[in-house]
């Protein structure tokens, strides 16, 4: 089950409608336009990558999707429901899970607790119920804990559920971030440079893992990624941003051949990514 | 031991670690038992043993550990546990906690005395006050609940507009409230013609309290000013309640949200934790306990006096929380008991003793500024986790807040609104 | 399914700006109320109005000096230096002892004025030294620590300084003879107090000096660079530790100057003055926009004037609500415009 699935074997793009749809997103900081008029969609059940040179506006765009920034203009829809400029926690609760480029776990909470934090929107117990430990609260906690363990095992964390997150190995921390995001029961999972700091073998395994998450958890996935090998292997569609604008979109093969993309990467005097 | 492959199926099943909550439960049970035994032992000692001790021992106890000082320390403990929820659990610095103490105290003043009789209001409910007396007289257990609720309401009122602010601004705003509210009470003798607080004269005396509102004489008789042992037991029960509530909430959904916010607000909000609501909840629960403390203090001194509520109370409470170990309710209790005792008994008595012996006139109580200030500074410099740290807190405060990575990715540091 | 009509888009924008609009409306209503209150008082009691105004300006100058200390330190290390107010208090006590006991200044004569000037320099040095010491002993070690830790330390420092003040000054307010005579220049019923004249005439050169240091000197440039980005400043060869210490020295010197001026204007010292005046000055710094030097001065004068008018006018809350009025302003500024009047909205980095 863990072998790499060819991209085409996944859910056909567009078959189930759009998991995420953003229309004409523009983000302006003072005079600076970080993102300009970006239309972007994630078909239901697909894996999409967002690439581009540094400073292209990828992270800004991510932050718009998750509600951290309000777009100056434009709208975002999650499975047809408008989520533009809602507070981050509501967007998260509606089904937008994310990981962070520079791992942001709750270091002094256990792996299990980290996952349980993200169940917050799905748990119901209030102050009073918690204090008297009502039957419902007990059941909810028990089930939450079981779900957390199940998620941890799913991402491959076993035996260290009770360790503080900061004491986990780097790889486990990356996995824990995914488990935590999955606890939100997301419709869309955003992975921000998930292979940063991984060696080629780990990256290759990661590609399998992403497919497994999509297939078994039924989420659509958006990655920001710098490692072109990973991008080409994992994604069904690729969108390229450069200086805040979308310059290309298509299958990995199309992107590889796109003039403007090559120019965007190589035209810059070797700052990054050009070797790939 | 940590599995390093991504593929779970490839990992041989390792024995799972004991669930963290069970370890925590066990530790807490041990502490709770220890405190319960100590509390009961102290009660039995004062109630039964002290009388039969030789005169010298009795004197020593009367001087160095009078029961009234213990009862006062309990008031501090209640408030410190409340502040611990705000500062220790949710990581919000509150420098105006005295406001809740004051509001709680005035709830006792309004609902347990003759005071509102000035407006021809007379209402009695399960109170030990003489039925002919005017004013509102409600049983003190109910007043506790009212005061807690009123304070929680004020906590939300104060928090709602201000909790969006950055942590240090929040500290200042709470400080402002901690100044405004006592000033309202000090000037409260005539607010547009209405006497809210009786000004600096204060409201005294309050109704006597009873252990239970009804029942046999033994448990429903009004407690006189010298029945310190029974009051001690009742106050200790309130502490137990606060500890219980703290621990329960801490291990639940809300407690996890608080911890997450304390560690990384932004990540917490991205994981579906509503920042405002969770912070407000911390404020409300903390303020609730502050209100309980206020009522207990009013009963302890048999009145409310506006000029007692000053800034230094907020800071002493903070010192208690910091000394004991932010986030660890047991440590906070020890810190509060210790500092309260130093403040109320040790410094003055030491002063008397030393001055008598050496024929000097050193004003020992004035050193409390130095002591509390130094505690804050020294603890922050050398032992930020407090004397009795919770493991999490220890590691959290040792950690530099901004790591290089975070600095590099400052683009994520936008305001979460 | 997601085609947005222009109408929908417009509706959304309206929804997003409604909150701001309500805030702005509230602000306007509030300002109009204040204006009405001022006019009412001006018409009914003009002389009281101007007397209060002048009194407020004098106080405002003092607040401005103290507020500068908060704003300088906040601007460079983002720490609210709670101890700053108490440093000011210590400076008042120091100035009292220096003027009266150690220099023996008496009466308004040239020798006394010379001693006053000398004390001004010494008090500034005193404030600077203590502030640098505090930074060196406590804050420097906490620069990389969580904010909460540094804040708590500052609160603790404030308590320690208050204790020093208590031991030095005594628990009762201490009365001092002043060099600046009582009374003032009267035009009709309006009196410009000598003390106000003195405070303002001393404040202005001090402010000019500060502006010069920050804008024109190498140290000032280093300060501004460090405030923007410590690491980058370090890479550019700036000694960050020394620059921060220098900033504390500047702030401390302002507090020292304010201490002497307060002593001369009021004539009493008390150990708890630092807490109250410090808070008021902090409010001034926030009102003007914390981190902004001109803002601190503007905020100082504004708060001074508001407080003066509130305390002195027939239709005001009166002196006993003075603190409440100031803190209410603080809270309203924090809630409605946390960046203050002149503060820059935090530019988000991309």
Please check whether residue A7 lies inside any domain of the structure.
no
Could you tell me if B395 lies within 8 Å of chain C, comparing CB atoms?
no
How many Cβ pairs within 8 Å bridge chains A and C? Answer: 26
Same domain, A91 and A196: yes
Same domain, A181 and A192: no
State how far residue C77 is from chain B, nearest Cα, in angstroms: 12
Return the structure tokens found at C272.
């708890």
Task: Out of A185, A207, A224, pick the residue that ends a domain.
Answer: A185
The C-alpha atoms of residue A110 and residue A103 are separated, in whole angstroms, by 15
The C-alpha atoms of residue B147 and residue B110 are separated, in whole angstroms, by 10
Residue C172 buriedness (CB in 10 A; 0-12 / 13-18 / 19+): exposed
First-residue to last-residue Cα distance in chain B: 41
Contacts of A197 (CB under 8 A, 6+ apart): A170, A174
Task: Out of A155, A185, A215, pick the residue that ends a domain.
Answer: A185
**Closest Cβ opposite residue B7 in set A87, A120, A205:** A205
Angle B375-B232-B326 from CA coordinates, rounded to 5°: 30
Please check whether residue B13 lies inside any domain of the structure.
no
The C-alpha atoms of residue A69 and residue A66 are separated, in whole angstroms, by 8
Could you tell me if B254 lies within 8 Å of chain A, comparing CB atoms?
yes
Q: Looking at the predicted structure, is the pLDDT value of residue B222 above 50?
A: yes
pLDDT tens column, A45-78: 999 999 988 888 888 898 899 998 889 999 999 9
Q: Minimum mean pLDDT among A34-48, B97-111, B389-403, C187-201: which range?
A: B389-403
Is the model more confident about B172 or about C136? C136
The C-alpha atoms of residue A216 and residue A226 are separated, in whole angstroms, by 25
CB atoms within 10 A of CB B186: 18
Helix axis angle for B275-301 and B98-111, nearest 10°, is: 50
pLDDT tens column, B26-59: 778 888 888 999 989 998 888 888 888 888 888 8
DSSP B17: P
pLDDT at residue B232, rounded to an integer: 94
pLDDT tens column, C50-77: 888 888 999 999 999 999 999 999 988 8
- At residue A275, what are phi and psi to the nearest 5 degrees? -70, -25
Beta bridge pairs of residue B191:
B194
Highest mean pLDDT among A256-270, B37-51, B227-241: B227-241
Q: Are strands C268-269 and C190-193 parallel, antiparallel or unpaired?
A: unpaired
Same domain, A162 and A275: no
| Chain A residues lying within 8 Å of B273, measured CB to CB | 89, 117, 120
Is the backbone peptide bond immediately before B205 cis, with ω within 30 degrees of 0?
yes
Question: Which alpha helices (DSSP H) does B53-129 contain, by range?
Answer: 55-64, 67-84, 98-111
CB atoms within 10 A of CB B200: 14
Question: Which alpha helices (DSSP H) does chain C contain, by range?
Answer: 6-44, 46-77, 84-96, 110-137, 147-169, 194-216, 218-228, 230-235, 240-266, 273-288, 293-312, 322-336
Contacts of B323 (CB under 8 A, 6+ apart): B335, B338, B339, B375, B379, B386, B387
| Chain C residues lying within 8 Å of A29, measured CB to CB | 347-348, 350
Please check whether residue A1 lies inside any domain of the structure.
no
Q: Looking at the predicted structure, is the pLDDT value of residue C281 above 80?
A: yes
- At residue B119, what are phi and psi to the nearest 5 degrees? -105, 25
Could you tell me if C172 lies within 8 Å of chain A, comparing CB atoms?
no
Contact C347 A29 (CB under 8 A): yes
Q: What is the rounded average pLDDT of the residues A3-29?
A: 64
Contacts of C213 (CB under 8 A, 6+ apart): C219, C220, C250
Q: Looking at the predicted structure, is the pLDDT value of residue C350 above 70?
A: no
pLDDT category at C9 given cuts 50, 70, 90 is: very low
Please check whether residue A2 lies inside any domain of the structure.
no
Contact B17 A130 (CB under 8 A): no
pLDDT at residue C146, rounded to an integer: 80
pLDDT tens column, B181-190: 998 999 888 8
Could you tell me if B6 lies within 8 Å of chain A, comparing CB atoms?
yes
Same domain, A179 and A169: yes
pLDDT at residue B18, rounded to an integer: 52
- Nearest partner of A195 among A209, A216, A181, judged by Cα: A209
**Closest Cβ opposite residue C160 in set B91, B172, B370:** B370
DSSP, residue by residue, C222-242:
HHHHHHH-HHHHHHTT--HHH
Q: Are B304 and B120 in contact (CB under 8 A)?
A: no
State how far residue C45 is from chain A, nearest Cα, in angstroms: 47
Could you tell me if A54 lies within 8 Å of chain C, comparing CB atoms?
no
Task: Out of A185, A218, A233, pick the residue that ends a domain.
Answer: A185
Name the A residues in 117-146 with CB < 8 Å from any B CB.
Answer: 117-121, 123, 125-127, 130-131, 133, 137, 140-141, 145
Residue A262 buriedness (CB in 10 A; 0-12 / 13-18 / 19+): middle
pLDDT at residue C333, rounded to an integer: 82
Angle B56-B59-B63 from CA coordinates, rounded to 5°: 140
| Chain A residues lying within 8 Å of B90, measured CB to CB | none
Q: What is the per-residue burial (b if ≥16 Cβ within 10 Å, else e) of C67-78?
A: bbbbbbbbbbbe
Please check whether residue B12 lies inside any domain of the structure.
no
Q: How much of chain B, in percent, has pLDDT values that exceed 90? A: 40
Q: What is the rounded average pLDDT of the residues B240-248?
A: 94
Return the structure tokens found at C21.
């609009």
| Chain C residues lying within 8 Å of A73, measured CB to CB | 9
Q: What is the ipTM of this complex?
A: 0.86
| Chain C residues lying within 8 Å of A70, measured CB to CB | 16
pLDDT category at B148 given cuts 50, 70, 90 is: very high
Name the B residues in 90-119 with CB < 8 Å from any C CB.
Answer: 91, 93, 95
Expressed as residue numbers, the domain containing B197 is: 65-401
pLDDT at residue A1, rounded to an integer: 38
DSSP C1: -
pLDDT tens column, C211-267: 899 888 998 899 888 888 888 888 888 899 999 999 999 999 999 999 999 998 888
CB atoms within 10 A of CB B24: 16
Q: Minimum mean pLDDT among A167-181, B360-374, B386-400: which range?
A: B386-400
The C-alpha atoms of residue A149 and residue A7 are separated, in whole angstroms, by 30
Could you tell me if A236 lies within 8 Å of chain C, comparing CB atoms?
no
The C-alpha atoms of residue B231 and residue B299 are separated, in whole angstroms, by 9
DSSP B50: G
Number of domains observed in the structure of chain B = 1
pLDDT at residue A272, rounded to an integer: 46
Q: Report the residue of chain C nearest B189, measured CA to CA.
A: C320
CATH assignment at residue A32: 3.40.50.300
Q: What is the rounded average pLDDT of the residues A92-117?
A: 91
CB atoms within 10 A of CB C192: 18
Residue with tokens 């056909």: A12
State how far residue A170 is from chain C, nearest Cα, in angstroms: 24
Q: Are A192 and A100 in contact (CB under 8 A)?
A: yes
Beta bridge pairs of residue A43:
A18
CA distances from A149 to A142, A182, B80, C284 (A): 11, 12, 36, 53
Q: Are A84 and C12 in contact (CB under 8 A)?
A: yes
pLDDT at residue C151, rounded to an integer: 87
Residue C7 buriedness (CB in 10 A; 0-12 / 13-18 / 19+): exposed
Please check whether residue B350 lies inside any domain of the structure.
yes
Q: Minimum mean pLDDT among A13-22, B44-53, C146-155, C166-175: which range?
A: A13-22
Contact B180 C328 (CB under 8 A): yes
pLDDT tens column, B278-325: 999 999 999 999 999 999 999 999 999 988 888 889 989 999 998 888
Q: Looking at the predicted structure, is the pLDDT value of residue A134 above 80?
A: yes
Q: Minimum mean pLDDT among A11-15, B57-61, B396-400, C208-212: which range?
A: A11-15
pLDDT category at B403 given cuts 50, 70, 90 is: very low
Same domain, A120 and A202: no
pLDDT category at C49 given cuts 50, 70, 90 is: confident
Please check whether residue A101 lies inside any domain of the structure.
no
The C-alpha atoms of residue C247 and residue C72 are separated, in whole angstroms, by 7
pLDDT at residue B21, rounded to an integer: 63
Q: Count CA atoms closer than 13 A to C288's CA, side-chain side.
A: 30
First-residue to last-residue Cα distance in chain C: 32
Q: How much of chain A, in percent, has pLDDT values that exceed 90? A: 38
Please check whether residue A149 lies inside any domain of the structure.
yes
Could you tell me if B405 lies within 8 Å of chain C, comparing CB atoms?
no
First-residue to last-residue Cα distance in chain A: 29
DSSP A71: -
Contacts 24+ apart (CB under 8 A), C93-96: C93/C165, C93/C168, C93/C169, C93/C174, C93/C259, C93/C269, C93/C271, C94/C122, C94/C123, C94/C126, C94/C256, C94/C259, C95/C119, C95/C123, C95/C256, C95/C259, C95/C260, C95/C263, C96/C174, C96/C176, C96/C263, C96/C269
Question: Taking the alpha carbons of B307, B310, B312, B317 in that order, is the dihedral positive or negative?
Answer: positive
State how far residue A157 is from chain C, nearest Cα, in angstroms: 30
Please check whether residue B17 lies inside any domain of the structure.
no
pLDDT at residue B2, rounded to an integer: 40
Q: What is the rounded average pLDDT of the residues B109-125?
A: 89
Please check whether residue B170 lies inside any domain of the structure.
yes
Please check whether residue A42 lies inside any domain of the structure.
yes
Please check whether residue B321 lies inside any domain of the structure.
yes
Could you tell me if B182 lies within 8 Å of chain C, comparing CB atoms?
no
pLDDT at residue B392, rounded to an integer: 57
Q: Looking at the predicted structure, is the pLDDT value of residue B358 above 90?
A: no
Return the structure tokens found at C47.
């002389």
CB atoms within 10 A of CB A54: 11
Same domain, A68 and A202: yes
Please, what's the largest Cα pairwise distance for chain C? Answer: 87
Q: Are B92 and B86 in contact (CB under 8 A)?
A: yes
- Nearest partner of C75 among C291, C281, C226, judged by Cα: C291
Please check whether residue B124 lies inside any domain of the structure.
yes
Same domain, A119 and A205: no
State how far residue B251 is from chain C, nearest Cα, in angstroms: 23
pLDDT category at C124 given cuts 50, 70, 90 is: very high
- Substitution target in B380, B381, B413, B416 with the highest count of C β-carbons within 10 Å is B380
pLDDT at residue B416, rounded to an integer: 34
The C-alpha atoms of residue A16 and residue A9 are separated, in whole angstroms, by 15
Same domain, A79 and A136: no
Q: How much of chain C, in percent, has pLDDT values that exceed 90? A: 32
Q: Is B79 helix (H, G, I), strand (E, B) or coil?
A: helix
Please check whether residue B3 lies inside any domain of the structure.
no
The C-alpha atoms of residue B311 and residue C173 are separated, in whole angstroms, by 19
- Nearest partner of C252 among C196, C302, C210, C300, judged by Cα: C210
Same domain, A26 and A154: no
Contacts of A30 (CB under 8 A, 6+ apart): C347
pLDDT category at B234 given cuts 50, 70, 90 is: very high
CATH assignment at residue B227: 1.10.3470
pLDDT category at B335 given cuts 50, 70, 90 is: very high
pLDDT at residue A94, rounded to an integer: 93
pLDDT tens column, B385-395: 788 876 555 45
Q: Are B264 and B275 in contact (CB under 8 A)?
A: no
The C-alpha atoms of residue B278 and residue C155 are separated, in whole angstroms, by 26
DSSP A195: T
Residue with tokens 């509503």: B274
Q: Are strands C268-269 and C174-175 parallel, antiparallel or unpaired?
A: antiparallel
Q: Are A227 and A195 in contact (CB under 8 A)?
A: yes
CB atoms within 10 A of CB B124: 18
- Substitution target in A41, A82, A241, A243 with the highest count of C β-carbons within 10 Å is A82
Q: Count CA atoms closer than 13 A to C75's CA, side-chain side.
A: 32
pLDDT at residue B13, rounded to an integer: 43
pLDDT at residue B15, rounded to an integer: 45
Number of domains observed in the structure of chain A = 2
- Nearest partner of A8 among A47, A62, A64, A57, judged by Cα: A47
Q: Are A187 and A78 in contact (CB under 8 A)?
A: yes
Per the prediction, chain A carries an average pLDDT of: 85
Q: What is the rounded average pLDDT of the residues A255-269?
A: 77
| Chain C residues lying within 8 Å of A30, measured CB to CB | 347
pLDDT at residue C43, rounded to an integer: 84
Residue with tokens 């060099």: C179
- Substitution target in A162, A176, A192 with the highest count of B β-carbons within 10 Å is A162
Q: Report the residue of chain C nearest B364, measured CA to CA.
A: C167
Q: Minimum mean pLDDT among B102-106, C41-45, C271-275: which range?
A: C41-45
Could you tell me if B25 lies within 8 Å of chain A, comparing CB atoms?
no
State how far residue A21 is from chain B, nearest Cα, in angstroms: 19
pLDDT at residue B388, rounded to an integer: 80
Q: Is C76 helix (H, G, I), strand (E, B) or coil?
A: helix
Q: Minimum mean pLDDT among A121-135, B92-106, B149-163: which range?
A: A121-135
Q: pTM of the predicted model, to two decimals? A: 0.86
Q: What is the rounded average pLDDT of the residues B68-97?
A: 94
Expressed as residue numbers, the domain containing A174 is: 108-185
DSSP B344: I
Q: Looking at the predicted structure, is the pLDDT value of residue B84 above 80?
A: yes
Q: Looking at the predicted structure, is the pLDDT value of residue B155 above 80?
A: yes
Name the A residues in 31-70 with CB < 8 Å from any B CB.
Answer: 59-60, 63, 66, 68-69
Could you tell me if A32 lies within 8 Å of chain C, comparing CB atoms?
yes
């Amino acid at each position: 089950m863990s072998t790499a699935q060819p991209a085409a074997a996944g859910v056909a793009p567009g078959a189930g409608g759009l998991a995420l749809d953003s229309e004409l997103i523009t983000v302006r900081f003072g005079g600076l336009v970080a993102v300009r008029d970006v239309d972007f969609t994630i078909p239901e059940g697909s894996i999409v990558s967002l690439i581009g040179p540094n400073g292209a506006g990828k992270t800004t765009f991510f932050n718009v999707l998750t509600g951290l920034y309000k777009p100056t203009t434009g709208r975002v829809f999650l499975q047809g429901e408008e989520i533009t400029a809602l507070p981050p926690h509501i967007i998260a609760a509606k089904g937008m899970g994310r990981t962070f480029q520079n791992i942001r776990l709750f270091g002094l909470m256990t792996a299990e607790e980290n996952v349980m934090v993200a169940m917050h929107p799905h748990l119901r117990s209030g102050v009073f119920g918690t204090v008297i430990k009502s039957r419902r609260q007990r059941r909810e906690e028990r089930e939450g804990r079981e779900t957390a363990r199940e998620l941890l095992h799913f991402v491959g964390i076993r035996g260290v559920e009770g360790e503080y997150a900061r004491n986990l190995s780097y790889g486990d921390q990356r996995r824990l971030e995914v488990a935590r995001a999955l606890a939100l029961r997301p419709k869309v999972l955003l992975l921000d440079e998930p292979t940063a700091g991984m060696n080629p073998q780990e990256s290759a395994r990661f590609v399998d893992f992403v497919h497994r998450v999509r297939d078994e958890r039924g989420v659509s996935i958006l990655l920001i990624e710098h490692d072109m090998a990973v991008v080409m292997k994992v994604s069904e569609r690729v969108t390229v941003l450069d200086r805040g604008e979308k310059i290309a979109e298509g299958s990995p093969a199309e992107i590889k051949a796109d003039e403007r993309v090559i120019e965007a990467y190589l035209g810059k005097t070797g700052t990054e990514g050009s070797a790939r | 031991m940590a599995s390093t492959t991504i593929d779970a199926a490839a990992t041989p099943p390792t024995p799972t670690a004991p669930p963290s909550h069970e370890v925590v439960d066990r530790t807490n049970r041990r502490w709770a038992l220890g405190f319960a035994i100590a509390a009961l032992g102290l009660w039995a000692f004062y109630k039964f043993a002290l009388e039969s001790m030789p005169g010298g021992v009795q004197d020593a106890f009367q001087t160095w550990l009078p029961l009234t000082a213990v009862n006062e320390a309990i008031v501090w403990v209640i408030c410190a546990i409340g502040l611990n929820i705000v500062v220790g659990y949710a990581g919000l610095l509150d420098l105006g906690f005295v406001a809740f103490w004051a509001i709680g105290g005035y709830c006792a003043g309004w609902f347990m005395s003759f005071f509102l009789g000035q407006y021809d209001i007379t209402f009695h409910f399960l109170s030990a006050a003489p039925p002919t007396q005017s004013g509102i007289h409600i049983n003190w257990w109910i007043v506790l609940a009212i005061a807690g609720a009123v304070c929680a309401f004020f906590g939300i009122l104060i928090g709602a507009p201000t909790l969006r602010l950055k942590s240090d601004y929040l500290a200042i705003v709470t400080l402002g409230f901690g100044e405004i509210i006592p000033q309202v009470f000090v000037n409260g003798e005539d607010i547009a013609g209405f006497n809210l607080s009786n000004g600096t004269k204060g409201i005294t005396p309050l109704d006597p309290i009873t252990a239970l509102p009804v029942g046999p004489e033994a448990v429903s008789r009004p407690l006189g000013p010298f029945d310190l042992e029974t009051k001690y037991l009742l106050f200790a029960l309130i502490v137990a309640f606060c500890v219980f509530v703290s621990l329960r909430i801490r291990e639940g959904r809300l407690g996890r949200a608080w911890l997450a916010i304390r560690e990384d607000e932004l990540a917490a909000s991205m994981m579906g934790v509503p920042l405002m609501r969770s912070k407000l909840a911390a404020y409300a629960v903390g303020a609730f306990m502050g209100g309980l403390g206020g009522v207990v203090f009013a009963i302890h001194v048999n009145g409310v006096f506006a000029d007692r509520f000053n800034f230094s109370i907020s800071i002493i409470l903070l010192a208690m929380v910091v000394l004991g170990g932010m986030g660890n309710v047991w440590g906070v209790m020890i810190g509060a008991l210790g500092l309260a005792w130093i403040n109320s008994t040790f410094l003055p008595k030491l002063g008397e003793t030393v001055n008598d012996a050496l024929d000097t006139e050193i004003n020992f109580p004035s050193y409390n500024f130095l002591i509390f200030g130094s505690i804050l500074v020294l603890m922050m410099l050398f032992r930020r986790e407090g004397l009795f740290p919770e493991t999490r807190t220890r590691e959290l405060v040792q950690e530099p807040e901004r790591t290089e990575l975070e600095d590099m990715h400052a683009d994520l540091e936008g305001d979460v609104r | 399914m997601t085609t947005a009509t222009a109408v929908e888009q417009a509706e959304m924008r309206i929804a997003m700006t409604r909150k701001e609009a309500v805030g702005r409306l509230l602000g306007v209503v509030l300002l109009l109320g204040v204006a009405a209150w001022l006019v009412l008082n001006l018409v009914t009691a003009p002389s009281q109005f101007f007397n209060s105004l002048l009194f407020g300006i004098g106080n405002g100058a003092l607040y401005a000096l103290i507020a500068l200390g908060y704003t300088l330190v906040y601007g460079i290390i983002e720490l609210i230096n709670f101890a700053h107010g108490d440093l000011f208090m210590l400076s008042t006590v120091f100035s009292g002892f220096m003027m009266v006991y150690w220099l023996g200044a008496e009466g308004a004569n040239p020798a006394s004025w010379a001693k006053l000037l000398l004390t001004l320099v010494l008090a500034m040095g005193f404030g600077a030294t203590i502030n640098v010491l505090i930074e060196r002993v406590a804050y420097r070690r906490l620069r990389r620590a969580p904010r909460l830790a540094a804040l708590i330390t500052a609160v603790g420092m404030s308590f320690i300084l208050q204790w020093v003040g208590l031991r030095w000054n005594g628990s009762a307010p201490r009365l001092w003879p002043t060099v600046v005579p009582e009374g003032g220049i009267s035009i009709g019923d309006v009196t410009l107090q000598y003390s106000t004249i003195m405070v303002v005439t001393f404040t202005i050169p001090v402010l000019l000096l500060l502006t010069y240091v920050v804008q024109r000197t190498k140290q000032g440039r280093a300060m501004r660079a460090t405030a923007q980005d410590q690491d980058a400043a370090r890479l550019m060869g700036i000694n960050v530790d020394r620059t921060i210490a220098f900033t504390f020295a500047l702030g401390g010197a302002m507090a020292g100057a304010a201490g002497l001026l307060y002593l001369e204007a009021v004539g009493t010292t008390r150990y708890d003055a630092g807490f109250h005046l410090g808070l008021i000055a902090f409010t001034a710094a926030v009102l003007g926009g914390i981190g902004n030097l001109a803002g601190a001065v503007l905020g100082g004068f504004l708060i001074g004037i508001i407080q003066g008018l509130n305390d002195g006018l027939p239709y005001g809350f009166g002196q006993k609500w003075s603190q409440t009025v100031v803190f209410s302003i603080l809270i309203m500024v924090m809630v409605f415009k946390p960046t203050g009047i002149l503060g820059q909205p935090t530019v988000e980095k991309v």
